[in-house]
Structure 1
Amino acid sequence: MLSLVPMRAEPSNKAELVSQLLFGECYEIISRQEKWVRIQLATDGYQAWIDLNQHTPISAAYYQEWKQTQHPRTMDLVQIISNSEERIPVGIGAYLPFFDGMNVRIGEQVYHYSGRASNPEAEATIAQLVKVAHNFMKAPYLWGGKSVFGIDCSGFAQQVYGICGVQLPRDAYQQVTVGEEVHFVNQTQPGDLAFFDNEEGRIIHVGIVLEDQKIMHASGEVRIDTLDHNGIYNAARKRYSHKLRIIKRIFPS
């Protein structure tokens, strides 16, 4: 098991990074090509290629059990998962399969974890979601990234909501299909998702709305900027960086 595995658009280490497989996450193998396997994540159905050397085999029984269980997520920025043979660094948002308060189970292997973990059975609040989001502040932007050491805009939204027990699709154009529309910026509440489009009208960016018409989003880094009916205003550069298309509410008022 690894803390992160790159998921690529093509079966090559030179191919575009489109997402990342998190520690403890399960997937199905869709196809094989030489030293690569194309996988589909059990969480969001996302498909991409991973290096066969980074593939961890599990049984069909474990996979089915994994899919039927809600798993805690790591809450510490960085922690260690270990057993007598190895120590694996994991970042915030990693999965803790079958966590019993001390141990996690990956296939036939048992690992110890002593850090903070989310409670998938507890109903998350907006305040908790905003608190989780702040843990990613200053994380550098990385296309396809899903960790505090490199993350993209939709990966940021998916991770924050996922830690709080809400599974979002992977990409911004998919996430915009979730939730109820908020018609005016002055009617937003913290935790709403704001989506932004390009000149062709395609959704290309997403951020998490905060209080006082602020927005947290991954653009160069996870940062906080001002949101109004035009879009995201970057005060440091004295210009708008993204054009607002629509706001969606995932959590109820």
Structure 2
Amino acid sequence: MRSAVPDFVAGDGRSRRAAQRVPTLASRRRSVFKPSLLAGIVVLLIVVTPLLPLGCRKIPTDAEILQTVQSILAEISVTHKLDGREVVFEISPTVEKRTITLQGKTSEPSLKDELISRLSAIKGAKVQDAVEVLPSKFLGDKTFALVKEPVINLGDGPGRNQGSHVVTQAKIGDILMLLEEKDGWYLAQMAADRYLGWVSDREIWRVDKATLSSYLSGKVALVVAKMTPALGTPGGKETFDKNLVQGVVLPVKSVDERWIAVNLPGRDVAYVKASDVKVFDRIDQVFAEKKGADAVIATAKQYLGLGYLWGGTTAYGFDCSGFTQFCFRMNGYFLRRDADMQYEMGEAVPDRKNLKPGDLVFFETYKKGPSHVGIYIGDSRFIHAGSSKGVAINSFDPSHSEYSLDLDRRYLGARRIIR
């Protein structure tokens, strides 16, 4: 209609030729009337159409609306690269009489807002929101926690944090964000890498935001030794049956030449050897310095011979991606938790001939896609935590004694994190 009306008013070839004739009264009335009638029809349609019965307009069916809802959910997931290991976005939509009912939960309020905004634009549909935004309101103000044992497992469900159910580990002093509770277990998100897992209430100290800020407000000590015991008194009995591991960060109470007194989460003070830790003025300084590839490799080589541990992220045992994540974090670089996640980071190194020390090398092992990762150390060699030999060095060069034909064949690609 927009293209026809301007052409008619301006006049096409026929209207210009007709204007050269002497018009009769009737012809003059018709020439004046037609555009007025056309405009009137357009206005009438605009005014009357919304008043017509629904059957006169195309309104999507419940099935069509549900299909649109599912498409929007899929688009949001792809656009934001949502991963259930890091984000809770569990939405179940139903449609009845053109009313979209959303049930479920999410840890990201902005995703819920985007979803409702897009659904509200669906013609003829209404949205009923029953999605819970985590943390659950039943947790009250204490939606944070600090790990209070030397090393704990995070599991794939309440009461399931052993063996193949382990998804990752946390160290004493690690900060967790609590999302929901079930039977004395909490769905927690690691503050360091956003990874999700279930923890027992016996292994954490629940706090509110103010308590957490106060606890971490002063100097902190980073454990730099592979392991160190926490003692009840200087030179006294050990507080735990396990040692504190490299990478643990705890607030400092006092310092002397031989001993550092640290505040244990939800517990009393413990003492650690001053030579086994490094003190920082603020917690945000601890992993701030990017130390380069040589430092990452040096950290990795400390653990040669250490056995493999599924889900492991500490000096008591690593899995492959837990090992790379740890080595990089200790030297100022962030990596996501799993091998396939790390494969999405940094920049690709298309040709293996162009590998540099510190590059991550990936392999396709027990499943399709990147399922194993190591750190390239130069001269065709790489260090990794393998399921059979633990932390070891292998090579891509058949002339080397460390050559692995199996891993050579399974090589998938590399990513450069350190530039």
Counterpart amino acid of 1:30? L
Alignment partner, residue 406 of structure 2:
240
Distance in 1 separating the partners of 2:335 and 2:399:
26
Alignment partner, residue 116 of structure 1:
277
Alignment partner, residue 172 of structure 2:
23
The alignment yields a C-alpha RMSD, in angstroms, of: 3.1
Q: Based on CA coordinates, which of the two structures has the bigger radius of gyration?
A: 2
Distance in 2 separating the partners of 1:208 and 1:250:
11
Conserved 8 A contact 2:396-2:404: no
Distance in 2 separating the partners of 1:166 and 1:98:
24
Q: Find the residue that maps to 1:223 and give its secondary structure.
A: strand
Tell me, which stretches of 5 or more residues in structure 2 are unaligned?
1-147, 280-285
Q: Find the residue that maps to 1:81 and give its secondary structure.
A: coil
Residue 172 of structure 1 and its aligned partner are, at CA, apart by 0.8
Conserved 8 A contact 1:79-1:90: yes
**Among residues 282, 293, 296, which one is paired with 1:129 in the alignment?**
296
Q: Find the residue that maps to 2:179 and give its secondary structure.
A: strand
C-alpha offsets along residues 133-157 of structure 1, whole Å, 9 cap, x if unaligned? 1112111111101122221000000
Alignment of 1:227 onto 2:396:
yes
Q: Find the residue that maps to 1:195 and give its secondary structure.
A: strand
Alignment partner, residue 3 of structure 1:
150
Distance in 2 separating the partners of 1:46 and 1:233:
40
Q: Whose strand proportion is higher, 1 or 2?
A: 1
TM-score normalised by the chain length of structure 1: 0.84
Conserved 8 A contact 2:395-2:403: no
Alignment partner, residue 12 of structure 1:
159
Residue 75 of structure 1 and its aligned partner are, at CA, apart by 1.8
Q: Whose helix proportion is higher, 1 or 2?
A: 2
Alignment of 1:47 onto 2:196:
yes
Counterpart amino acid of 1:87? T
Conserved 8 A contact 1:226-1:233: no
Residue 187 of structure 1 and its aligned partner are, at CA, apart by 1.5
Conserved 8 A contact 2:352-2:413: no
Distance in 2 separating the partners of 1:71 and 1:47:
26
**Aligned counterparts, 1:64-79, within 5 A:** 64=213, 73-79=222-228
Conserved 8 A contact 2:322-2:337: yes
Inter-CA distance 173–97: structure 2 relative to 1 (3 Å threshold): farther
Alignment of 1:33 onto 2:199:
no
Counterpart amino acid of 1:96? L
Distance in 2 separating the partners of 1:138 and 1:4:
20
Q: Find the residue that maps to 1:191 and give its secondary structure.
A: coil
Tell me, which stretches of 5 or more residues in structure 1 are unaligned?
none
Alignment partner, residue 184 of structure 1:
351
TM-score normalised by the chain length of structure 2: 0.53
Alignment of 1:87 onto 2:278:
no
Identity score, percent: 23
Inter-CA distance 238–217: structure 2 relative to 1 (3 Å threshold): closer
